[in-house]
Homo-oligomer: A and B are copies of this chain.
């Protein structure tokens, strides 16, 4: 009767377990942190007591004592883009296996938000940080470096970047896309792309396109460049507007697959044949892209792989190693049905 505790409110603490198992609190701690140091019979007793009262070491206490939080942070623009969702999912899984918890922040493409989220994470004692892109307020990186915390920039891999990166060279990748289209014979090329301001990755993509065109003495005509939110609808609107210009572009490079899908759907709705009347390329190779009609030519990025690599890199840093960040990933151009050699305009 008197054994019944009428107020089970307060969660058990290590001392309670210690009392129940008739050992000292230090032994309880050891059972959970270096079990080999405690004699098996006692170990069992402690384990049994802990299980009986549902006790686990409280993370805040051990974080303090151990000076390690076992949490890492992921800072991404938004989960609404499956690209970042996949990266975060892969990281979460990789870290969970090591008993590390993932803290998430979505900054919605807002640099101030990113900055303050990172500060909050630092205050929480994250031991490492993965951040999408490198166009952030300088303070953001300064804060991280001041803490001597390992971090990695993802989705970007600019030559000469001061940061460790896991990603690919956006500029190169788009140069490759543009060259492919040029090789197919296109000379008037339109571009639909996400906002470039404050987004290094997208700015690089546009630069890559310009590079390739410049190599052939070409450029992007202002009326053939649409910059706006990444969405299927923006892709649709842009292509509709662009096709009213003269000369009409014969090919369209889109900053990501959502835009490309919008462009493709609208072009077909307008009665154009793709790729004959208009070639279209995307970027990311999201799940739906290869299901389109015709299937979308795009560049394949392995987002889970980026997440896994970022996690592996940070994990390695946390073990005290100094891994050399891997070479850039090289996205592969997946030629599907929305591109093809341009029919010769005139002559046989």
Which residue numbers of A lie inside 8 Å of B, CB to CB?
8-9, 11, 54, 56-61, 63-64, 69, 71, 78-80, 82, 85-86, 88-89, 92-93, 96, 99, 101-106, 108, 117, 119-125, 143, 146-148, 232, 261-262, 265, 287-288, 291, 293
A257 to chain B, nearest CB (A): 10
Q: Are B61 and A123 in contact (CB under 8 A)?
A: no
| Neighbouring B residues of A9 by C-beta, 8 Å | 148
Once bound together, how far apart are the Cα atoms of A216 and B12, in whole Å? 56
Q: Are A58 and B117 in contact (CB under 8 A)?
A: no
Once bound together, how far apart are the Cα atoms of A9 and B85, in whole Å? 34
| Neighbouring B residues of A101 by C-beta, 8 Å | 103, 120-121, 124
Q: Are A93 and B106 in contact (CB under 8 A)?
A: yes
Q: Are A261 and B123 in contact (CB under 8 A)?
A: no
Q: Are B123 and A56 in contact (CB under 8 A)?
A: yes
Q: Are A56 and B92 in contact (CB under 8 A)?
A: no
A32 to chain B, nearest CB (A): 11
Decide: A88 near B92, CB < 8 A? Known: A101-B120, A232-B288: no
Once bound together, how far apart are the Cα atoms of A265 and B289, in whole Å? 12
Once bound together, how far apart are the Cα atoms of A120 and B62, in whole Å? 13
Give the oligomeric copy count. 2
Once bound together, how far apart are the Cα atoms of A345 and B36, in whole Å? 76
| Neighbouring B residues of A88 by C-beta, 8 Å | 79, 104
Which residue among A56, A59, A78, A88 has the maximum number of chain B CB atoms within 10 Å of its CB?
Answer: A59
Once bound together, how far apart are the Cα atoms of A241 and B98, in whole Å? 42
Q: Are B261 and A291 in contact (CB under 8 A)?
A: yes
A238 to chain B, nearest CB (A): 15
A258 to chain B, nearest CB (A): 8
| Neighbouring B residues of A11 by C-beta, 8 Å | 147
Q: Are B92 and A106 in contact (CB under 8 A)?
A: yes
| Neighbouring B residues of A104 by C-beta, 8 Å | 88, 92, 102-104
| Neighbouring B residues of A105 by C-beta, 8 Å | 92, 96
| One of B117, B122, B125 near A96 (C-beta < 8 A) | B117
Once bound together, how far apart are the Cα atoms of A88 and B79, in whole Å? 8
| Neighbouring B residues of A262 by C-beta, 8 Å | 291
Nearest chain B residue, comparing its CB with the CB of A67: B60
Nearest chain B residue, comparing its CB with the CB of A11: B147
A310 to chain B, nearest CB (A): 15
| Neighbouring B residues of A85 by C-beta, 8 Å | 79-80, 82, 85
Q: A59-B123, A85-B85 are in contact. List 16 more A-B contacts (CB 8 A).
A: A54-B146, A56-B122, A56-B123, A57-B123, A59-B124, A60-B63, A71-B124, A78-B89, A79-B86, A92-B104, A93-B108, A96-B120, A99-B120, A101-B124, A103-B103, A288-B288
Nearest chain B residue, comparing its CB with the CB of A59: B124
Nearest chain B residue, comparing its CB with the CB of A60: B63
Once bound together, how far apart are the Cα atoms of A108 and B97, in whole Å? 13
A170 to chain B, nearest CB (A): 23
Q: Are B291 and A146 in contact (CB under 8 A)?
A: no
A273 to chain B, nearest CB (A): 15
Q: Are A58 and B125 in contact (CB under 8 A)?
A: yes
- Interchain Cβ contacts under 8 Å between A and B, 18 examples: A8-B146, A9-B148, A54-B146, A56-B119, A56-B122, A59-B125, A60-B69, A64-B64, A71-B124, A79-B79, A82-B82, A88-B104, A92-B105, A96-B105, A103-B103, A232-B291, A262-B291, A293-B293
